[in-house]
Amino acid sequence: MYKLVVSDMDGSLLNSENKISPYSKSIIKQAIRQGIIFVLATGRIYGSARVYAKELGLNTPIMACNGGIIRNSMDGKILFDVPIEKDSCQKVFEFLKDTGTYFHFYGPDIFYTEKIENESFEYTVWNNSLPDEDKITIREVKNASEVLRKENIYKILIHCRKDIKRDFYAHELNKISDITLTSSWFDNFEVCGKNVTKGNAVRRFAQEMNIPKDEIICIGDNINDISMIEYAGLGVAMENAEEPVKKAADFVTSSNDEDGVAKVLEKYVLT
């Protein structure tokens, strides 16, 4: 019998319009009424994930920044965090500036970028559509290193240049100590703190709740989801998932545009 369900957001719970369908919403709420603990695990900044937790009426922690920071969905209290070590973070910033690569990065509550473009532009458009109480702070700064001196950084998202091979980014970034390198899309890399993975976040939460692995379902679609999919008793990949994710999973559900997360709940949880 499963007690804990952990779902990725983008490409999994959220459809192509970045929304939770009414059908999925109803199934998730039904599972919660039945006693299931439903948790969001995302590469997004906490405030962005909290919008969807609020929509679902969740009172469970949010595993944000790939598990680098875990916070209550209700009051935002930080339960656990592993920021990127500052020297390592500075080295990442320097490498990205040397290669002229776009990046943005997350503090506990603020989305930072040196230039509003690519993902930061898309975030800004989405953010402007939200009611004031749900908006996150998106701040354009002249120098990322100045932010690093003032507060912890939990994730750096790197948008790879088309004229630079991904292997080059991976090779150079892996030379930097005390970071975890992963990916959530074909053209990006994500840098988090040492040993920060969604799998480790799920493990920590499950141990605190005294929930064994075989009572956990984890659902995702991309490389940063593999660690939790492999940890869970039932690891599920979306139909739209990357091939390595499908290979790591025990089961492949429907796509994110076909309520794949809801179908997992219907198949394995609802009675």
pLDDT for res 223: 97
pLDDT for res 15: 98
Confidence grade of residue 112 (pLDDT, cut at 50, 70, 90): very high
Confidence grade of residue 117 (pLDDT, cut at 50, 70, 90): confident
pLDDT for res 118: 77
Q: Homologous superfamily of 4-81+197-268 in CATH?
A: HAD superfamily/HAD-like (3.40.50.1000)
pLDDT for res 120: 86
Predicted confidence (pLDDT) per residue in 150-199, tens digit: 999 999 999 999 999 999 999 999 999 999 999 999 899 999 999 999 99
Confidence grade of residue 123 (pLDDT, cut at 50, 70, 90): confident
Kindly tell me if the per-residue pLDDT of 14 is higher than 80: yes
Predicted confidence (pLDDT) per residue in 193-225, tens digit: 999 999 999 999 999 999 999 999 999 999 999
SS (H, E, C) the chain: CCCEEEECCECCCECCCCCCCHHHHHHHHHHHHCCCEEEEECCCCHHHHHHHHHHHCCCCEEEEHHHCEEEECCCCCEEEECCCCHHHHHHHHHHHHHCCCEEEEECCCEEEECCCCHHHHHHHHHHHCCCHHHCCEEEECCCHHHHHHHCCCCEEEEECCCCCCHHHHHHHHCCCCCEEEECCCCCEEEEEECCCCHHHHHHHHHHHHCCCHHHEEEEECCHHHHHHHHHCCEEEECCCCCHHHHHHCCEECCCHHHCHHHHHHHHHCCC
Confidence grade of residue 121 (pLDDT, cut at 50, 70, 90): confident
Q: What is the mean pLDDT of the chain?
A: 96
Domain 4-81+197-268 and domain 86-193 have a common topology: no
pLDDT for res 151: 96
Give percent above pLDDT 70 in the chain: 100
pTM of the predicted protein model: 0.96
* Domain 86-193 in CATH 3.30.1240.10: yes
Predicted confidence (pLDDT) per residue in 22-49, tens digit: 999 999 999 999 999 999 999 999 999 9
pLDDT for res 52: 97
Kindly tell me if the per-residue pLDDT of 259 is higher than 90: yes
Q: Could you tell me the residue ranges of all domains in the chain? A: 4-81+197-268, 86-193
